[in-house]
Amino acid sequence: MGQHALSGRSDVRRRSPLFMRLTAAIILAIGAYTLFGFSLEWRESAPVPRNAAYIRHKCEALHRPVVPPSDFFSRLESDRYVAGTPPTLIRNATIWTGRFDGHQVISGDILLDKGIINGLGEIEQSLIDSYSKLIVIDAKGAWVTPG
């Protein structure tokens, strides 16, 4: 009778709502871990965009410092130069260079050829004379800014 009473109690414990809830929670946790648990295979199976390399390159570029390309100062022509545009001399300008945290302002001339600034400020006459078909613009002290 002692064994029967104990076994009766254990039957009651196995069927109690709390025991059933705990068992269900453990089974669900094991199942969730099996299906979704920290498996790299599951994460790698997500579709990769066709332009993933381009997206990664753009994201990496956001963290790089803004500097001119390595060949910037050796260029002979701007990538925005329109073929056939004659060299231009802008005389008597007030020039905001953007240097020194945007505080540098000089008075003088600007010599442009193929989209590249070839002279700024006081430009030697021999350099100016070396250009044929030079367009000369008198700025009359007007401001010239980068861009």
What pLDDT digit, counting tens, does each position of 95-131 carry? 998 888 878 888 999 999 999 999 999 999 999 999 9
pTM above 0.85, yes or no: no
pLDDT at position 8, please?
52
- Residue in 140, 73, 135, 141 with CA at minimum distance from that of residue 106: 141
Q: Span 131-141, mean pLDDT? A: 94
pLDDT at position 111, please?
96
CA distance 147 to 131: 23
For the domain with range 77-144, which CATH number is right: 3.30.1490.190, 1.10.760.10, 2.30.40.10, 3.40.228.10? 2.30.40.10
pLDDT at position 22, please?
83
Question: Token match 């925005």: residue?
Answer: 80
Contacts of 127 (CB under 8 A, 6+ apart): 111, 118, 119
pLDDT at position 27, please?
86
40 band by pLDDT with thresholds 50, 70 and 90: very low
Domain spans in the chain, listed from the N-terminal domain onward: 2-47+54-59, 77-144
pLDDT exceeds cutoff 80 at 58: yes
pLDDT exceeds cutoff 80 at 63: yes
When the pLDDT of each residue in the chain is averaged and rounded to a whole number, the result is 83
Kindly report the backbone phi and psi dihedral angles of residue 6, in degrees, each rounded to the nearest multiple of 5, phi listed first: -70, -40
